[in-house]
Amino acid sequence: MKDIEVKNLRKTFGRKEKKVIAVDDVSFYVNRGEIFGFLGPNGAGKTTTINMLTGLLKKDSGEIKLLGKDPIKDWEYVKNKSNVSTAYFPMSGVLTIRQNLRVYAGLYNVKNREKKIDSLLEIFELTKLGNTKVVNLSSGEQTRTALCKGLINDPKLLFLDECTVGLDPDIAEKTRRIIKEYQKKNDCTILFTSHYMYEVEELCDRIAFIDKGNIIRIATADQLKKEIKKHTIELKVKDKHGELIKFLQDENINIIFAENNTIIFDVSLEKDKIYKILNKIFTKGFLLDDLHIKKPTLDDVFINFARSRK
């Protein structure tokens, strides 16, 4: 079962003679119960796509199905079973957290509204702030309030946009745990965006990269990282710093950083080159204080995609 189906989606802005293509023939799907990462640099078309999926923008052409339904024709059904939480859509600042959540509980026809609100405030550690006006909240508190709004109707389809922005590391970790637990318990489908690659890797089953209005690649985090064919090595050498730099240069190694006793360089994974280089370093008698091998991360993948598209 596919809870999100997008086919040949297209959106342009501007007049005919100055038309800008924001989303160009985008197609993808998200399975039931899947957390699907949707990533891209600023201006890539990510937000425009999400705004079309959530009804904030009208598409020029293409097809959208949410929960197996047309979100326009079956608006009431889709609305009651889906929700959005974004750090960039502020709630009413003149209302308290509780008052804001009451409004949304009414819009989503939530039963036992006060009980549900109390539960969410407790989960996101906002109980003591329930009667505080949103305008007086910190950015992290506002983010957690937005998450309460996103879960107010126990959605089967959830759009999470930068849902940990402004959160302290411990609260962000708790938030990711809450999201995972909710998703598993409710078999909820989540479209997830973030600029924090480590949490995308932690949460998402598959990841789509979009740039210049086009989907570049859809794969798992492990599959994407395997496309980076190099490891980064950091050495701290006891002595002969200059000699080691000269040796690496003679071996055509790309040195990223060399200062004091620290040298950082990239080595290709082809033909066991990394092991051969390290073996030569030890064989030649260079004495090391420390050695660290850094495998590719999703950050590396993101940067690689972004640079290759310039």
Cα 33 to Cα 189: distance, rounded to the nearest angstrom: 4
Q: What's the pLDDT score for residue 309? A: 65
190, 225, 260: which is the final residue of a domain?
225
Whichever domain contains 218, its CATH number is 3.40.50.300
Domain count of the fold of the chain: 2
Same domain, 66 and 193: yes
Q: Please report the pLDDT score of residue 23 as a whole number.
A: 95
- Which of the listed residues 208, 225, 242 is the one where a domain comes to its end? 225
pLDDT attached to residue 307: 74
**Are residue 6 and residue 95 in the same domain, yes or no?**
yes
Q: 161 and 255: one domain?
A: no
Q: Answer yes or no: do 141 and 269 share one domain.
A: no
Give the global pTM.
0.87
If asked whether residues 54 and 175 sit together in one domain, one would say yes
Segments in the chain below pLDDT 50: none
> What's the CA dihedral at 54, 58, 62, 68 to 10 degrees?
30
* Claim to verify: residue 145 and residue 244 sit in the same structural domain: no
Same domain, 160 and 54: yes
189 and 46: one domain?
A: yes
pLDDT value of position 229: 85
Please give the Cα distance from 158 to 234 (Å, whole number): 41
Domain's final residue, options 225, 256, 278: 225
Mean confidence (pLDDT) of the chain: 92
The whole domain housing 258 covers 230-308
Give, to the nearest 10 degrees, the angle between helix 139-151 and helix 97-107: 20
CA distance 84 to 68: 18
Among 275, 240, 235, smallest CA distance to 258 is for 235
Residues 286 and 256 in one domain: yes
- 3-class SS of residue 98: helix
Sign of the CA dihedral with 33 first, then 82, 209, and 307 last: negative
Residues 166 and 257 in one domain: no
Q: Are residues 283 and 189 in the same domain?
A: no
Same domain, 217 and 275: no
Give residue 7's pLDDT. Answer: 97
pLDDT at position 295 is: 87
Q: What's the confidence (pLDDT) of residue 310?
A: 63
User: What Cα–Cα distance (Å) separates residue 259 from each residue in 59, 72, 237, 240, 262?
Assistant: 53, 60, 11, 13, 6
